[in-house]
Structure 1
Amino acid sequence: MVGLVVVGFFILVALFAPFVAPAGPNQRVARPHEPPSAEHVLGSTRMGRDVLSQTIHGTRTSLMVGFVAGLVVTVVGVAVGVTSGYFGGRVDEALNLLTNVVLVIPNLPLMLVLAAFVGEAGPLTIATIIGLTAWGWGARVTRAQTLSLRQRDYILASELLGEPAWRIILVELLPNLTSIIGFNFIGSVLYALITEATLEFLGLGDPLALSWGTNLYHAQETSALRVGAWWEIAAPSLALVLFGSGLSLINFAVDEIANPRLRTLRVPKRILAALRPVGPAE
């Protein structure tokens, strides 16, 4: 519940950014590197722009990249994993080889090369690069679960009844892979969010696009820490930590739902009272 509240809060901030932000993201409203005050809660940048406004508006781009890349990673990973695990044979060998290649190549160096080759990649380009290079782990997990479900009686019965493969996959397999798909999607969003911030912090993104990563990049370029303007780096960093923590909490909950052995036993108070040993005086 805490994770849902945190993630929901950031989604609402992203949706209503123009109405929530106290000023425009590129509007000069204060002196350079003005510390936090009642008028500017998170201080100002070297250009006199409100840090809170930039962080709020940057939420839109960062969340867009995270969810788009997470969706691409999940769709590609599930499609490859289910196809490989269900059909088997040469299809499984070919797709498994492709998955192994994707897993062997280090993701971050590959994305650094691709982003540098593209040059000042925009948010949508970064999301596409992340989505097309980070699906290997999800495909491997989905394939393993599909191989387990492939031998279940209801799958074999559907095949004996002559049901087409597409219907078995969509109606019989995918509903039983919901927890794995949800786990994969949430983890992919978190990974994409951190990776996008890393690429933009290193200067491989579009500096004109406003996001948490570009906020950190501009803070580094203006030597914010050297002049003591810690708030310029603290604001986007704290936003990344809070949103990532919210996603992690949701991820833990999905893991408990998928694996009943991880669930915490909660005994109602009335049952504890009934089980309490009765003393001699009572």
Structure 2
Amino acid sequence: MIGHRISGAAVVAGIAGQPVAHSLSPIIHNAWLAAGGIDGVYAPFAPRNAAGFQTLVAAGRAGLVQGLNVTAPFKEQAFALADDATAAARLTASANILTFEDGRVRADSSDGIGLMRGLKEQAPELALNGRAVIMLGAGGAARAAAGALVEAGAEVRIVNRSLERAEALAADLGPSVRVMPASAAFDGAALIINALSVQPDVDFDRIAPGTVVMDMTYKPLWTPFLMAARARGLKTVDGLSMLIGQAAPSFEALFRRPPPPLDLRTLLLAHLGEAPA
């Protein structure tokens, strides 16, 4: 961060979530700002509740913030508060990016991009078209990921404790998405994705060889879910790959320019105290 000068003309952006202290996004974006000599700052915001998040969005409308990344539990509220939205955000009725200009709010979603880039990087041999993908969870990140998977031609099976939330997601995304009980969902799956904030209980002895397993969690990098899959000999994809994949389009939206070249994975592994896989 040496040499990163912030003036009174600095562009202010950030990430909003509850909780948000664990987020690596400030590490990523402020490293890019420093590397590019960009007069700007990326800050964490932790609204206590939906009313607090609405106040933060009002601050953006007033010109105090140029843009926000949005994480749980505010992604669907972010979409609802926007004046207009990209096709990616409309597809899943959730947003992880809000940009502010002339008092208006625009919603976008880069979570699906992040998912697909992470899969391409760590499981390049995986074919999705016509294949079954299990999505554990039905929150904002799961919505965006499911939308990207549908666009890739996959059949998405949602496994979630709350049937109402899962069925709402399936209704929004169409016939390629189904809600299924865990007892029947895993047969023939090419990919299993954990989008839950808690570790799911999956019997990997029943999972077919060749299945790819991904966890959206990145802290810790090697979650018990991924470690159990790896012990079974399955290919794994970590949540850091998805985080890095969605970060570049986020930076470009928030700061109106592409990020400078930087080895983010090495930077983040060092920050996390994790060794490369």
TM over 0.5, yes or no?
no
Which structure has the larger Rg over C-alpha atoms?
1
Q: RCO greater where, 1 or 2, for CA within 8 Å and sep 6 or more? A: 1
User: Higher strand proportion, which one?
Assistant: 2
